[in-house]
Amino acid sequence: MTDHIEHNQSIGNIPEPENQPTMETPQPNRLPAYEIIRTERFRPKYAGFWTRFWAYVVDLLIVSSISGIFIKPVFRVFDIKISNPSFLLFSPYKVTLLILFLGYFALMTKIAGQTVGKMILGIKVVRQDGGKLTWGTVLFREVIGRFISKLLTLPYLLVVFMPKKEALHDLFADTYVVHEQSFEREVIETRQERKGEELHAGTIV
């Protein structure tokens, strides 16, 4: 009986082997849930500061010429004093000139999408969503926005710093100014749900 107990104790004291390898079920290599689809397209190039500046200079010359031919003679005939007061002060002549200035930009932009200066430089105004220019868009851009830009001058410089070269009046109306004949390549990345089957270990693609 004693021998039997000792034999059982000796068996119970045998240490079990460590780090025994275990059999694991191979896990499938899972594909990402989405894949990146890259597409290329060409879009009109945004007009930079200097292109827009020279177009604006041409438009100012045209407005000034219209004023000299039509507005000033009328003021002289009716003996209305022509004066150009300093900043933030408006005379009847300056108000009339401002109406002419804003009306020229608004009408030309609504009718043709560009002023004469923009035509010469080959640029035009477009909406960000690609739609047609409406009177609401034109009024926000060429009357309210341009009045503020002309009054303060500095908002015109936003073109230099904005990634899509918008001035303040472009931001007001959600518009861009683009070249008619120049284009840039644009890469668009979209995520698409992957519909393929899972790859199992050892599968060669």
Looking at the chain, the number of H-run helices and the number of E-run strands are: 9, 3
How far is CA 118 from each of CA 47, 51, 112, 127, 166, rounded to the nearest angstrom?
Answer: 10, 9, 10, 16, 15
DSSP 8-state code for residue 157: G
Q: Is 5 helix (H, G, I), strand (E, B) or coil?
A: helix
Domain boundaries, the chain: 41-189
186 Cβ contact partners less than 8 Å away, ≥ 6 residues apart: 40, 41, 42, 43
pLDDT at 21: 52
152 Cβ contact partners less than 8 Å away, ≥ 6 residues apart: none
Helices (H), the chain: 2-12, 49-66, 72-77, 92-112, 116-121, 135-138, 146-152, 158-161, 168-173
Q: Is 84 helix (H, G, I), strand (E, B) or coil?
A: coil
Task: Show pLDDT as tens, one digit a residue, over the chain (205 residues).
Answer: 545 544 444 445 545 555 555 555 555 556 567 677 778 777 889 999 999 999 999 999 999 999 999 998 988 888 888 776 655 567 888 889 999 999 999 999 999 999 999 999 999 999 999 899 999 999 999 999 999 988 888 888 899 999 999 999 999 999 999 999 888 877 777 777 766 554 444 444 4
pTM over 0.85: no
